[in-house]
Amino acid sequence: QNSVPEAMVIVDEQDHLISKMNSISEYDVIGVGPGIGTDKMTTLVISQILDQFDLPMVIDADALNILSENKEWIEKIPKGSVLTPHPGEFRRLIGDWNDDYERLDKQIRFCAEHDLIVLLKGANSSICNSDGTVIFNSTGNPGMATGGSGDVLTGIITALLGQGYSGYESAVLGAHLHGLSGDLYVRKYTEETLIASDLIDFLPEAFRKVSGR
């Protein structure tokens, strides 16, 4: 709260975990997962959110790990929501695969079965829509493989959803902007020094390039 004064915060009564769900009826979108842990109380909060929220969400990190332990909850995820796993999280969610072709096939079938969007993170991240359409993102660089980078992506996609873009549009545009921010940083500095907050700093320039301004 002190380091990011513009962030509006509702404080939990627990210091180290999320223990209860506050009212979510006024929210247009929810992004959940980064840094929340998988405590039993937090797991219960995720279940309550899925029971009560019916608009598209962005689900990442520990929220995905919680889903992996409670796969029957996948059916409760609002249609058109965006899941943003890295390969390890995706493997825990859907099971193993033998090669990249099988992984892509599993991704397509998962999206179609549950009417969800999956952005599978990595080099040339794949974004799959529920109709089987897949786009591979071409922006980004190895310097972005750093702690917190995926959390920035979750924030970007959540913000785009809140502006009225569909889940698929938010995932595709979010991945492009996220990677472009990293590429713009590297043009000025180096991959070796890139940290997650640098991606946020270069987002304005990324938006300008995408909009043609």
Does 21 map to a domain?
Answer: no
Kindly list the distances between the CA atom of residue 132 and the CA atoms of 107, 109, 126, 141, in Å, as whole numbers in the listed order: 9, 8, 12, 26
* pLDDT class of 7 with cuts at 50, 70, 90: confident
Q: Is residue 10 a part of any domain in this protein?
A: no
Number of folded domains that form the chain: 1
Residue 213 predicted with pLDDT over 80: no
- Judge whether 5 lies within some domain: no
Name the pairing type of β-strands 30-32 and 82-83. Answer: unpaired
Phi, psi (rounded to 5 degrees) for 165: -70, 155
Indicate which CATH number applies to the domain containing 185: 3.40.1190.20
CA distance 131 to 128: 8
Residue 39 lies in a domain: yes
Q: Is residue 4 part of a domain?
A: no
What is the per-residue pLDDT for 5?
A: 85
Residue 68 lies in a domain: yes
Provide the residue range defining the domain that includes 200. Answer: 30-211
More confident site: 22 or 181: 181
The pLDDT value recorded for residue 187 is 97
Residue 81 lies in a domain: yes
**How confident is the model at residue 2, as a pLDDT?**
81
Residue 134 is inside which H or E element, if any?
Answer: strand 134-136
Asked if the structure places residue 131 within a domain, the reply is yes
pLDDT of residue 72: 97
